[in-house]
Amino acid sequence: MNIKILVAVHKNYRMPDDPMYLPVFVGKEIHPTVNRTFQGDNTGDNISKKNPHYNELTALYWGWKNLDVDALGLVHYRRYLTMGHSKDLSTILNHEQVEELLTDADVILPKKRHYYIETNESHYLHVHEHEPLEITRQVLKEKYPQYLPAFEKVMKQTSAHYFNMMIMKKQPLDEYCTWLFDVLGEVDKKVDYSDYTPYEQRVFGFLSELLLDTWLLTNPQYKTVEVNRVFLEKQNWPLKIVKFLKRKVTGHGEH
C-alpha cells in the first residue's frame, strides 16, 4: 500500500527516518530561503501563499493535489500519531501499523481532545474572533445544508478531533478535501481578517479543526479508528491551564 504522511514543518527540525513520512515546509512561497532540504508546499497545484491563514492545511492541499497515493496523512513536526505514549520518533506509527489499521478502517484519527467544562463552540468563542465561525455556519446553511446538523452537534460537544491530524484512504480524502477547501474558500470570501492579530489570522486552520468531525459525522460510511497522539516536547501544563482560565474571563487574544 502506497502511504505518505506529510509532516507540516516551518523551521529546521528533526524528522522521522521512515520514508513513509514526508516533511513539507509550509509557506515555502513566502519563505523560499528558510529551508532548502524539505519538500516545499509551493510546487504544482498549491496554496502556499495562504499559509499565514491556512496553517498546516497548505501541506494537506499540496499532498492532495500533487501526490498519487493509496492513503495520505497529515501530522506536525512536533505532534505525531502513535500506538504508545513515548515521546520518541522511533515509536510513532510505522508503515506496517498504518497498513494494518487501514485494513478495517478508512480514516485514522488521534484520540479526541476533551474540554469537559465547555463546548467546542464556547471554547472557540473564548479563544478566537467570533465572526468566522458564524460565517462558516452560514456557508454550510446556504451551500451544504446536509452538513449543518452535524456541525451543530459538534459545536455542542465537549470534545473533538483537533489539530488537523489524520490519515485517510484516497477516496475519503478526495471527498473531504474537495468539501473542506470549498467551504473554507467561501468563508474566505466573506471574512475580513486584515485587522486580526497574526495569531487570529490563522483562521482557516482553526475552523477546519471543527469541520473534520462535521464531515465525518455526515459521512458515516467511512469507518474510523483512533490512536494516541504524542507531543515530542515538554509542555508547561500549569501555564496552559492559567491561559485557558484567563481566556474564559477576558476572551480571545494572541497566545
pLDDT in tens, 139-160: 999 999 999 999 999 999 999 9
Q: What average pLDDT does range 226-248 have in this prediction?
A: 68
pLDDT tier for residue 34 given thresholds of 50, 70 and 90: confident
Read off the pLDDT of residues 70-112 as tens digits, 9 standing for 90 and up. 999 999 999 999 999 999 999 999 999 999 999 999 999 999 9
The mean predicted confidence, pLDDT, of the chain is 93
Distance (Å, whole) CA 245 – CA 239: 10
For residues 226 and 236, what is the distance between their CA atoms, to the nearest angstrom? 25
Number of domains in the chain: 1
Share of the chain above pLDDT 70, in %: 92
The answer to whether residue 99 is domain-embedded is yes
Average pLDDT over residues 161-170: 98
Q: What is the pLDDT of residues 198-208, one digit of tens each?
A: 999 999 999 99
pLDDT of 236 above 90: no
255 inside domain: no
DSSP letter, residue 106: S
Is residue 81 situated within a structural domain? Answer: yes
**What per-residue confidence (pLDDT) applies to 36?**
83
Amino acid 7: pLDDT: 98
Which pairs from 78-81 meet CB under 8 Å and 24+ separation? Answer: 78/13, 78/231, 78/232, 78/233, 79/163, 79/165, 79/229, 79/230, 79/231, 79/232, 80/16, 80/229, 80/230, 80/232, 81/108, 81/110, 81/165, 81/167, 81/227, 81/228, 81/229, 81/230
- Furthest-apart CA pair in the chain: how many Å? 49
Give pLDDT, residue 253: 47
Question: Where does the pLDDT of residue 233 fall: very low under 50, low under 70, confident under 90, or very high at 90 and above?
Answer: confident
Q: Which of 253, 230, 219, 249 is nearest to 78 (CA)?
A: 230
CATH of the domain at 194: 3.90.550
Supply the pLDDT for residue 250. Answer: 57
Tell me, what's the pLDDT at 255? Answer: 34
Burial label for 36, CB within 10 Å (0-12, 13-18, 19+), is exposed
Give the pLDDT of residue 134: 98
Q: What pLDDT, on a 0 to 100 scale, did the predictor assign at position 169?
A: 98
Domain range for 201 = 3-250
Domain-embedded: residue 175: yes
Kindly report the pTM of this predicted structure. Answer: 0.92
